[in-house]
Amino acid sequence: MQAIGLSFIDWVIICVYFAFVLGIGWYLKRFTKNQEDFFLAGRKNSTWVAGLAFLSANLGALELLGMTGNTFKYGMYVAHFYWIGAIPAMLFLGIYMMPFYYSSKINSVPGYLKLRFDEKTRVLNGVAFALMTLLVSGINLYAMALVLHTFLGWNWDVSMWASALTVAVYVGLSGLMSAIFTEIIQFFLIWFGLFLISILGIIEIGSLQEIFARINEYSQQISFTTLWATSSDPTQNGMFIHWGGIVIGLGFVLSFGYWTTDFLVIQRAFSAKDLRSARMTPILASFFKMALPFIVIVAGLIAIALSNDPKSGFTLLHDGGQINYDSALPLLIARYYPSGLVGLGVTALLAGFMAGQAGNVSAFNTVWTYDIYKAVLNKKASDSHLLWMGRVSTLVGVALSLVTAYWAKSFPSIMDYMQAIFSWVNAPLFATMLLGMFVWWITPNGAFWGLVAGMLSSFTMYLAVKFSWFHESIITMSNVQSDMAANFWRAWWAWLICAVVTIVISLFTKKREKAELVGLVKGLTKENHDQAIPFMKRPEFVAIISLIVLIILNLLFW
């Protein structure tokens, strides 16, 4: 069923967007002269540019649609993904980890593993990460085609190929700088394109308090409008999760595992012009991350309130008897937006999808070129050859994303794999990075086998539940849980297994000399950055402000 029709002006706006991104890619090509320009945008971005790009690399349309839909399904608890599930990790990255990442002049996160441990650990993570980016890029492409087909009636193949070719052109021409420019444009288009839904929904219903009141009236047994008050009993909240799962699984493992180790976002911080800007990048981004629930969560709550009012005429789409939760945002666009604004809303979603692909492709081409090709296949490659390889791997990465997208199309529930993929790769990697940066006696063999154990255990737990080898209550330690809760707990166990195996094997294997680890491990590194700057201008002070805002928001919506 087609939910949104496009008029002439909507098509004009969409074409303006495509013309802009292609034009920017062409314009920036003359400034992309070497491999540092292509892979790290010349390392000359300001805090604001790197910070908005850092956030936008994470903010894809898949997340916007999915999280609005998840809010309809689970309620206010989805805000945890934007608050406790992001902010502490972002601040930790900026304050404690960025000095080691940035100062070691590495080109990628696997590059840090090479310096701290050894080549085999780097290659293991490089291969896992490269596969993950291709999978996620393909899922983005598939999800975009699904949305455009379902809500606009667009042809599958045309949607996927048009988007893939556009991304291939502008990233192939100018690398990370192009990806960053379009990500920042995407950030503004998303705010202007989608925040209006929250404003109009609140105007229609009356107030945010009225929205909460209507939802509470219809759902008196399970709370959809609280954040923590009902978290001590999983049967009382829409996500069926205990606060332990939120804090440990999401707030610690999944959150830190993603924000402190995923090269897709960290690559944007590497493009900053100096260490202080790099440290400020995730801290600045944290403020905008905290504001996103005012688009995503409020829209989902508006959809719940409208759905429970028969007079509103608002109801989500159904596919074969199942509710299509992802239809919440597109249907709200169709409800409130006249022509012109519809074009803006669709462009915001398109921009989000394409930025998600571009981000994953630019991360892929960097990890492939430095951590697999140069590290293993061609160690003597020249700078010009690496630049050429970067462009070629962009085209190959986009082509492989198309293959992944068509493969994803053949499965009915591929969307479920997104969070699972992060728990397979990022959760155990976080244990490796945390131990590597803070414990000098962790050995290369400990790190390698810990990472293997963590990734294998996470994948095994996923298969075990999927094929009923055992019940997922063993993982979640609760008889009542949602798929989301199971993801959180699985990430925690993968992290723990990786950490334990790493420590045990390190106790019995050869340690590296302390002198070799200076600049890579806290405690062995003299840190005197920002000492000359007044405290109120330091990243630490801004991080404290961010933390205070986080606490206030959690108390306000307790």
Quick one: CA torsion of 70, 71, 73, 78, rounded to 10 degrees? 70
Is 169 a residue that touches another protein (CB under 8 A)? Answer: no
Question: Which residue type occupies 164?
Answer: A
Is 24 a residue that touches another protein (CB under 8 A)? Answer: yes
Quick check: 168 and 322 in contact, CB under 8 A? no
Q: Is 84 helix (H, G, I), strand (E, B) or coil?
A: coil
Question: Which residue type occupies 107?
Answer: N
Report the sign of the C-alpha dihedral through residues 402, 404, 408, 414, in that order: negative
Among 170, 252, 337, 492, binds another protein (CB under 8 A): 337
Is 344 a residue that touches another protein (CB under 8 A)? Answer: yes
Is 340 a residue that touches another protein (CB under 8 A)? Answer: yes
Is 341 a residue that touches another protein (CB under 8 A)? Answer: yes
The site for another protein, by CB under 8 A, has a size of 36
Among 310, 320, 321, 338, binds another protein (CB under 8 A): 338
Fill in the per-residue mask, 199 to 218: x = in contact with another protein (CB under 8 A), - = not in contact: -x--xx--------------
Is 173 a residue that touches another protein (CB under 8 A)? Answer: no
Is 420 a residue that touches another protein (CB under 8 A)? Answer: no
Rounded to whole angstroms, how far apart are CA atoms 324 and 317?
5
Nearest to 140 by CA among 409, 526, 339, 341: 409
| Cβ neighbours of residue 297 closer than 8 Å, sequence gap 6 or more | 67, 68, 71, 76, 78, 79, 82
**Which DSSP state fits 513?**
P
Rounded to whole angstroms, how far apart are CA atoms 424 and 459?
6
Angle at 226 between CA 288 and CA 472, to 5 degrees: 95
By C-beta, is 27 or 218 nearer to another protein?
27
Is 309 a residue that touches another protein (CB under 8 A)? Answer: no
Is 455 a residue that touches another protein (CB under 8 A)? Answer: no
**Which DSSP state fits 274?**
S
Fill in the per-residue mask, 25 to 54: x = in contact with another protein (CB under 8 A), - = not in contact: --xx--x------------x----x-----
Among 3, 127, 162, 196, binds another protein (CB under 8 A): 196
Span near another protein by CB under 8 A; candidates 11-19, 292-300, 395-403, 435-443:
11-19
By C-beta, is 21 or 414 nearer to another protein?
21
Is 181 a residue that touches another protein (CB under 8 A)? Answer: yes
Quick check: 498 and 442 in contact, CB under 8 A? no
By C-beta, is 113 or 265 nearer to another protein?
265
Rounded to whole angstroms, how far apart are CA atoms 4 and 174?
34
Footprint on this chain of another protein (rule: CB under 8 A):
5, 7, 9, 12-13, 16-17, 20, 24, 27-28, 31, 44, 49, 180-181, 184-185, 188-189, 192, 196, 200, 203-204, 334-341, 343-344, 347
